[in-house]
Amino acid sequence: MSDTQTQSAITPFWRYSLKFYGQSGVSDACIALQDGCGIDVNLLLYLFWLASEGRLVTADDVKMLDDKVKSWRELTIVPIRDVRRKLKGAKTFIDPAKQEALRDKVKVAELEAERMQQEGLYAVTQSGPPLGTAAAPAAAARGNVAALELALGKTFPKASVEVLLGGFASAT
């Protein structure tokens, strides 16, 4: 997080995401699911945050959330991520150090777009009745991952899911 971000933008969900994502193996598991299964990592993190709050969601809840964030993700996060990835080690006529400096700036923009998406998801939590039903956090975590799988019509690699559930236990 940069010093330029305002305190109002630092939600409990954002703080949880930073802690959870920093757990051993979690970032790699998230990226593997993003690249291999097409998941929205911010949505996945949101589902884990909801689980940490004792909230179990349904596949319909996940579809509703995904519908809310889809336009933002497609307009900002995916194109910015694509540019960042393409810049890494690309052979161009630009000095490699300057190209890498630009890539670092793109990475900052990507992180800010992701933080804004998370801020929007957090606002969903604050603007209406509680999402999902009450459940023990560990059960909610497993259930929320299953709801995401069902909503996407995919089965996630068991190893990635277990890493995420282990990270959830450590972060909660």
- Nearest to residue 45, comparing CAs of 58, 59, 60, 34? 34
Q: For residue 4, is it within any domain?
A: no
Does 1 fall in a domain? no
The answer to the question of residue 147 being in a domain is yes
Number of domains the chain is built from: 1
Domain that holds residue 166: 9-171
Per residue of the chain (172 residues), what is the pLDDT tens digit? 344 444 456 899 999 999 999 999 999 999 999 999 999 999 999 999 999 999 999 999 999 999 999 999 999 999 999 999 999 999 999 999 999 999 999 999 999 999 999 999 999 888 888 899 999 999 999 999 999 999 999 999 999 999 999 999 988 8
Torsion sign (Cα): 14, 15, 20, 22: positive
User: pLDDT at position 129, please?
Assistant: 86
**Is residue 2, in this structure, part of any structural domain at all?**
no
Query: Is residue 108 in a domain?
Result: yes
Give the separation between CA 172 and CA 166, rounded to whole angstroms: 10
The whole model's pTM is what? Answer: 0.91
Does residue 134 sit within a domain? yes
Residue 86 contacts residue 93 (beta carbons within 8 Å): no
Residue 3, domain member (yes or no): no
Taking the C-alpha atoms of residue 39 and residue 42, their distance in angstroms, rounded to an integer, is 9
Domain assignment present for residue 104? The answer is yes
- What pLDDT was estimated at residue 1? 38
